[in-house]
Structure 1
Amino acid sequence: MVTALRSAGCVFAEDEAELIIAAAPTPRDIAALVERRAAGLPLELVVGWAEFRGLRITVEPGVFVPRRRTEFLVEQALAATRPQSQPRAETRTGPRAREAVVVDLCCGSGAVGAALAAGLGRAELHAADIDPAAVRCARRNVAALGGQVHTGDLFDALPGGLRGRVDILAANVPYVPSDEIGLLPPEARDHEPRVALDGGADGLDVLRRVAAGAPGWLAPGGCLLVETSSGQAPAAVAAFTDAGLRTRLAVCEERHAHVVIGVRT
């Protein structure tokens, strides 16, 4: 098995073999999974899950596989959310901090929303995607956290009652320029939906739409967080600023992660 995986170009063949064995109940199933992996199917789709911030996120064919660098976006969102700054609601036993309202836009598998809800401990979680396959997958991942998943194009998918209430708006938008899709690794190019990758001519079409619409949905002090590339970061920051958000760029060189953060003042 290890030899077959290594011959197919799997750098971490021993580790992958262990995951495949754990995912397959019989030797015949193991052989079938090894064959699929050797044919180029991403390991996460072979075993049916991806690890993301310590969570096991279910993934299915045709759904974007969450990237480890996107964990940086979650970390930035959690750092920006201060429980002591949240409005307090009165209960019979006295005031308590209300649940943060979290929206995972362009949610794919729902990994970002699930990680945010888990990190906050309690949250009103909503996720949305235009792709029905992603919505089905996301529902499986956020159900245990009480999250709701909606189908539609960006903000059109969200319930109107969320306007002006969102504390964290995380949008892992597609940001690969259209002409560069063919340069992606085969695991992404051949097995992930183009709608989750293609960001238009300069890769920022969807990001600009999200930035322009976000202020109407954010609560005062609420923040929008979007992942982008190093080369796109200046234009992405400008789009946030043009939308009236107080903007900064967070960078993690180790993970090659760039996250634009905008706060509604």
Structure 2
Amino acid sequence: MPLTVHSTVVQRLRAAGCVFAEDEADVLLAAASDAGDLDAMVARRVSGLPLEHVVGWAEFGGLRIAVDPGVFVPRRRTEFLVREAASLAGPGAVVVDLCCGSGALGAALAAALGRVELHAADVDPAAVACARRNVGSAGRVHEGDLYAALPGGLAGRVDVLLANVPYVPSHEVALLPSEAREHEARVALDGGSDGLDVLRRVTVDAPRWLAPGGRLLFETSERQVPAAVTAVRAAGLAARVVTDEELYATVVVGTAAGVGG
């Protein structure tokens, strides 16, 4: 489309408060089938709908991940968690993606490692439907509450347990950008009174599911690290913290006793 169209879209996005107006305009122009489609998409974005929900996908880990309305949008900083997991496992690993949302983490890790046994799970039916599209033939997606969703035969076999748990304290959800609080499921954001309620449920049962030397990896905020590490150690796992300053990402790795610990 003409440069003037791009400029007009940028101006509309800037007026609506979009920080990365130029980049978003590029995405919208590439996704639109015609001028009418573009105008409708820009209008939805200006109204506050996340860009990823407008175009129906997000770029994550080199993949185009489908993101349906209401489903948690994978954050770019979480690519660090996937890269860390990929450095700890290899082809053939048994991988579980808990609180999987769109399934982005599991799909990206499977793509990075090649052949894996991948299982993803989420309590939100909309997220499960979306994840099944993204995971495809690379694995299986289960609906249910944390470990209750998983096949029992996985117990003691999981090499990499990704848990992108919600970690925003309940009283801070209202402070999130409107894109998140109004258009993503609250269950994917609200981590309870101190943001770590779901994490504690994950850590306490992780040893039952992890293989000897298996790893639990999750993202958290910098200020939550001490409490998160305490939860990991209380479950009997060795804990270490890794960070990426450029992505402003903090990941805690819990390792089960055994070979590779």
- Aligned pair partner of 1:220 in 195, 208, 212: 212
Q: Hey, what's the Cα distance between the residues in 1 that align with 2:50 and 2:147?
A: 30
Q: Which amino acid aligns with 2:166?
A: P
Q: Distance in 2 between matches of 1:164 and 1:183?
A: 39
Instruction: Kindly indicate whether residue 50 of structure 2 is the aligned counterpart of residue 42 of structure 1.
Output: yes
128, 143, 147: which one aligns with 1:135: 128
Aligned to 1:91: none
Q: How does 1:159-178 map to 2 (within 5 A)?
A: 159-178=151-170
Match of 2:100 in 1: 107
Q: Distance in 1 between matches of 2:137 and 2:113?
A: 14
**Large movers: runs of 4+ above 4 Å:** none
Q: What is the CA deviation profile of residues 100-135 of structure 1, one whole-angstrom value per residue up to 9, with x for unaligned ones?
A: 100000000000000110111110110000000000
CA distance in 2 between counterparts of 1:173 and 1:107 reads 9
1:62 aligned residue = 70
- Measured against aligned partners, the alpha-carbon deviations of 1:162-214 in whole angstroms (never above 9, x if no partner) come to 01110000000000000000111111111111000000000000000000011
Letter in 2 for 1:187: E
3-state secondary structure, aligned to 2:223: coil
For 1:254 and 1:199, the matched residues in 2 are separated by 25
Bigger helix share? 2
Amino acid at match of 2:215: C
Instruction: Return the alpha-carbon distance in structure 2 between the equivalents of residues 157 and 224 of structure 1.
Output: 17
2:147 aligned residue: 155
> AA paired with 1:62?
G
1:3 aligned partner, one-letter code: Q
Q: How does 1:25-36 map to 2 (within 5 A)?
A: 25-36=33-44
2:145, 2:57 → 1: CA distance?
Answer: 26
Instruction: Give CA deviations for 1:133-174 in whole Å, capped at 9, x if unaligned.
Output: 0000000000042x1000000000000010111000000000
Q: Secondary structure in 2 aligned to 1:220?
A: strand
For normalisation by structure 1, the TM-score amounts to 0.92
Q: 1:130, 1:222 → 2: CA distance?
A: 24
Secondary structure of 1:125 counterpart: strand
2:33 corresponds to which letter in structure 1?
P
- TM alignment of 1:164-243, pairs within 5 A: 164-243=156-235
- Unaligned 5+ residue runs, structure 1? 84-97
TM-score when normalising by structure 2: 0.93
